[in-house]
Structure formats: C-alpha cells, structure tokens
C-alpha cells in the first residue's frame, strides 16, 4: 500500500482546529475526507466523540453538531475531538451498513489499512484518532428497528479499575438508563478501545422517532458527561423521559436478550421501562400469513425492566426481540 491515512487538523493547537481524517481508497481514487474538529483548552481529560458509525442512527450526528456549537463557549479544560459523521455514505443512505462495501462499520474493528472502505475507516480511527484520547464516547442510537430507553452503555471489562471508571463515566451521562451489557459481538470499536486502556462509553441515545425531545435527551447526556469530566461548565441534570427524571443502572445477562423462537411477525406486548414479572407475556410472534393460527407467546423468564423492544415487523428465528435489564 503506497498511500497512508493522515489528519489535517492540529490536535495540539489551543482553541479550535478543524480539518479532516483523510483515508485513501486506493485505485487512484480520491481519498475519503471525514470532517474532524478539535476543541483544545490544554490540560485535562482528552475525549474523542464519534457519531454516525451506523447511518440510520440519527441522534448522534445531530448531537455532535450541537456540541460543536456550545463547546467554544462552555469548555474550560481538556480536549474534545469530534467526528460528527464517521460513516458518511451510510448516513446519506439512511442505512446501518455502508452502501459502498455492505459492511457494518462497528463489526470490523480494528479494520485493515488495505481493506474495503469501511475497514479503512476503522483502521484510520484506531491508528490516528484513538491515540489522541483517554475517553471515547461513540454515539449510537437504537435506530428505526428498535424501541429503547436512552442509555449510556458498555460491556464488562476484566480490568476492575477501568471497569469502575467506565461505570462512573457512563453513569455521569444521567440518562434514564446506564446499561452494562453482555454478549459483545466481535469487531466492535468498544473492545479495541478498551484493549488500549481507554474508557469507552457507547451512547444508545434514541429510538424510533427523532424529535426535539429525543435530541434534547441525547444532548443532555453528552453534556452531563463532559461536565462530569470537568471539561465543560454547567450543572449536570437528568433529562426528562416519559414524564420522569430518573437514572438507573441495569445489568443485562446474555439470557436477558429474548429471541424469537420462529420466523414471523413480531407484535410487542411490552413497553420501554415497563416492569415485567417472571412469566409475563412480552411479545407474540405471529405466522407470516397473518390470518393463520399458531402465534407463539414470548414470556419474560425473570422479573426485570424492559430496556429495548423490537419494532420492525418480520423477525427471523433467533432474532432478538426484547432486551431486559436487572436494576443494579
């Protein structure tokens, strides 16, 4: 490979530095230029905020843009590097996967410098942006196929010190839920960052509709976390969700991801943040032929809180349909 990725902003410049992460596509094509903005007030925590890894998860990119608007006046310490749209082609197509190579950017980390375009984005982020940060906020949302509680999330970490620090920072978003998940898929940005000793928090900021209300919740979460780190001025405050201001930490075991026992049309029978008891019906899977008999009920195996509910119609056998959380 003759060409190398590079950055055109100056992370050491005090103040704002705008530029690009430039990623060669090979084959003498024009390189991909991903916009990056660095806000540097010198000493303090070094944060990387990435958004738009999945193109159909809209809250992150809009919140990242809003943060760029208020950082100049509110930041008092540290450095925040923001990439508002990590996967610009997927964003334009409102698709989870990149339309250019069909890959899910958040399942191919740490990427490959000589790979397809998504692999090259992952590689460039890991080699050029990740070393510039101690803390990473990767802004996702549940997207159009899931309902879910706005949450800061992470996977359990073997290093107890890093685990505790990650938990505290995740909780500092003050979102309705902090979720400690199980069952990390291979190739996620999370594990690569954690392996390098970084605090990595994935914001699952919204679900279903993007509204002024959902954007306000998402923005409050990111701002709260930056306030918690001492990077920006202000008072951290839990946003209102479903008429309540509440923050709760949940633990989700692998067995708490409830899956469809068959292919069919999923009908949700539970709502986000609903308390369900062991044995409660949380959903029904109907035959694809909707007027036929043979619907199967899905029951909660435990007493728990509903954190995510599938909302797209047809599910495959073993597709996740409900995610439960155990308050903890």
Binding residues (CB under 8 A) for its own copies: these are: 18, 35, 37, 52, 55-56, 58, 61-62, 64-65, 68, 82, 84-85, 88, 91-94, 144-145, 147, 207-213, 215, 265, 267-272, 286, 288-292, 309, 311-314
User: Phi and psi of 173, rounded to 5°?
Assistant: -65, -25
Q: Cα–Cα distance between 137 and 201 in angstroms, integer?
A: 5
User: 61 or 110: whose CB is closer to its own copies?
Assistant: 61
User: How many C-alpha atoms does 157 have within 13 Å on its Cβ side?
Assistant: 23
| Least separation in angstroms between CB 107 and its own copies | 20
| Least separation in angstroms between CB 313 and its own copies | 4
| Least separation in angstroms between CB 116 and its own copies | 22
| Least separation in angstroms between CB 44 and its own copies | 22
User: 45 or 52: whose CB is closer to its own copies?
Assistant: 52
User: 87 or 172: whose CB is closer to its own copies?
Assistant: 87
Residues in the chain: 328
User: 68 or 177: whose CB is closer to its own copies?
Assistant: 68
Contact 187, 108 (CB under 8 A): yes
User: Phi and psi of 2, rounded to 5°?
Assistant: -80, -40
Q: Cα–Cα distance between 31 and 20 in angstroms, integer?
A: 11
Q: Which residue has the tokens 């530029």?
A: 19
User: 39 or 198: whose CB is closer to its own copies?
Assistant: 39
Q: Cα–Cα distance between 96 and 144 in angstroms, integer?
A: 10
Residue (of 99, 132, 115, 131) closest to 24 by Cα position: 115
Q: Cα–Cα distance between 61 and 49 in angstroms, integer?
A: 10
| Least separation in angstroms between CB 118 and its own copies | 18
Q: Cα–Cα distance between 87 and 104 in angstroms, integer?
A: 10
Q: Cα–Cα distance between 22 and 35 in angstroms, integer?
A: 9
- For helices 59-74 and 212-228, the axis angle rounded to 10 degrees is 50
| Least separation in angstroms between CB 155 and its own copies | 26
The C-alpha angle with vertex 46 and arms to 104 and 132, in degrees rounded to 5, equals 60
User: 34 or 169: whose CB is closer to its own copies?
Assistant: 34
The token pair that represents 18 in the structure block:
């705008």
User: 288 or 317: whose CB is closer to its own copies?
Assistant: 288
User: 166 or 214: whose CB is closer to its own copies?
Assistant: 214
| Least separation in angstroms between CB 268 and its own copies | 6
Contact 312, 144 (CB under 8 A): yes
| Least separation in angstroms between CB 328 and its own copies | 26
């Amino acid at each position: 490979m003759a060409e190398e990725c590079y950055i055109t902003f100056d992370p050491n410049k005090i103040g704002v530095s705008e530029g690009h992460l430039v990623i060669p596509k090979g084959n003498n094509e024009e390189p991909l230029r991903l916009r990056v903005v660095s806000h540097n007030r010198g000493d303090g925590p070094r944060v990387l905020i990435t958004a738009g890894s999945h193109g159909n998860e809209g809250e992150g990119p809009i919140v990242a843009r809003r943060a760029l608007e208020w950082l100049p006046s509110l930041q008092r310490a540290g450095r925040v590097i923001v990439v508002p749209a990590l996967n610009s082609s997927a964003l334009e197509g409102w698709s989870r996967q990149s339309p250019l190579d069909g890959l899910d950017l958040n399942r191919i980390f740490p990427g490959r410098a000589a790979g397809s375009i998504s692999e090259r984005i992952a590689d460039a982020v890991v080699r050029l942006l990740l070393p510039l940060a101690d803390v990473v906020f990767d802004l996702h949302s549940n997207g159009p196929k899931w309902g879910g509680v706005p949450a800061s999330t992470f996977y359990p970490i073997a290093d107890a010190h890093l685990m505790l620090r990650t938990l505290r920072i995740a909780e500092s978003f003050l979102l309705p839920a902090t979720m400690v998940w199980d069952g990390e898929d291979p190739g996620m940005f999370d594990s690569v960052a954690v392996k390098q000793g970084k605090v990595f928090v994935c914001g699952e900021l919204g679900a279903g509709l993007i509204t002024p209300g959902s954007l306000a919740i998402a923005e409050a979460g990111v701002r709260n976390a930056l306030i918690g780190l001492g990077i920006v001025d202000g008072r951290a405050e839990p946003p209102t969700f479903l008429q309540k201001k509440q923050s709760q930490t949940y633990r989700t075991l692998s067995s708490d991801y409830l899956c469809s026992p068959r292919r069919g049309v999923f009908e949700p029978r539970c709502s986000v943040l609903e308390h369900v008891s062991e044995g409660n019906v949380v959903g029904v899977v109907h035959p694809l032929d909707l007027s036929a008999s043979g619907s199967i009920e899905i029951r909660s195996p435990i007493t728990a809180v509903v954190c995510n509910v599938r909302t797209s119609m047809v599910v495959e056998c073993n597709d996740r349909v409900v995610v439960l959380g155990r308050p903890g």
